[in-house]
């Protein structure tokens, strides 16, 4: 499984780039999974007092949820990110957020100032709103999500 991360600043175009990549990879016949890092304090998928919270409070390390439109597994044993991501089985795993996770990354930036603030060594491509202004930055291609096939060509070579 190849893992590709997309990170950047709020309102820079991350989700648009992620969904464009997922769509393009699936059109090419690949199986694709995704994971999103959420940085909202006290965020939870469950509410205290629900049956699933009671399962956890009773000692369950993982609780499965089956609902009319999907399924989920809640992990309470706090695996590290690498162990958690290893639960995905697909040709590609596309990460949104996960700034610190070591994998090839696309930086989504609003402008040149964002590039100065958070360009990392594992960035192979830049996208987001800044792609309306630049085509290249320090030898790294800057590609608009509307040209997602160019991004996919790079991802396939990783």
| The predicted structure's pLDDT at residue 73 | 86
Q: Where are the alpha helices (DSSP H) in the chain?
A: 14-27, 51-57, 81-85, 112-118, 148-157
Domain assignment present for residue 75? The answer is: no
Determine phi and psi for 56, rounding to 5 degrees.
-65, -45
Domain assignment present for residue 55? The answer is: no
Domain assignment present for residue 83? The answer is: no
Give pLDDT tens digits for 103-133: 999 999 999 999 999 999 999 999 999 999 9
106: domain CATH number? 3.40.50.300
Q: Which residue has the tokens 């100032």?
A: 113
pLDDT-based confidence at residue 36 (cuts at 50, 70, 90): very high
- What's the distance, CA 6 to chain centroid? 5
Range of the domain at 111: 2-38+89-157
Give pLDDT tens digits for 45-79: 777 888 988 998 999 988 998 999 999 888 877 77
Cα(46)–Cα(44) distance, integer angstroms: 5
Domain assignment present for residue 70? The answer is: no
| The predicted structure's pLDDT at residue 80 | 85
| The predicted structure's pLDDT at residue 47 | 79
Which residue, 83, 158, 82, is CA-closest to 122?
158
pTM for this structure?
0.90
Query: In the chain, how many domains are there?
Result: 1
Is the model's pLDDT at 10 over the cut of 90? Answer: yes
């Amino acid at each position: 499984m190849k893992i590709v991360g997309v990170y950047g600043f709020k309102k820079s175009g991350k989700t648009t780039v992620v969904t464009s990549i997922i769509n393009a990879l699936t059109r090419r016949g690949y199986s694709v999974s995704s994971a999103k890092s959420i940085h909202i304090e006290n965020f939870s998928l469950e509410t205290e007092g629900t049956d699933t919270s009671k399962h956890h409070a009773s000692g369950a390390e993982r609780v499965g949820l089956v609902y009319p439109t999907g399924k989920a597994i809640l992990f309470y044993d706090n695996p590290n990110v690498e162990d958690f991501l290893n639960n995905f089985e697909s040709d590609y795993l596309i990460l949104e957020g996960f700034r610190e996770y070591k994998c090839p990354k696309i930086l989504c930036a609003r402008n040149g100032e964002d590039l100065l603030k958070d360009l990392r060594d594992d960035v192979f491509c830049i996208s987001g709103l800044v792609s309306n202004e630049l085509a290249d930055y320090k030898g790294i291609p800057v590609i608009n999500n509307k040209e997602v096939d160019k991004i996919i060509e790079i991802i396939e070579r990783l």
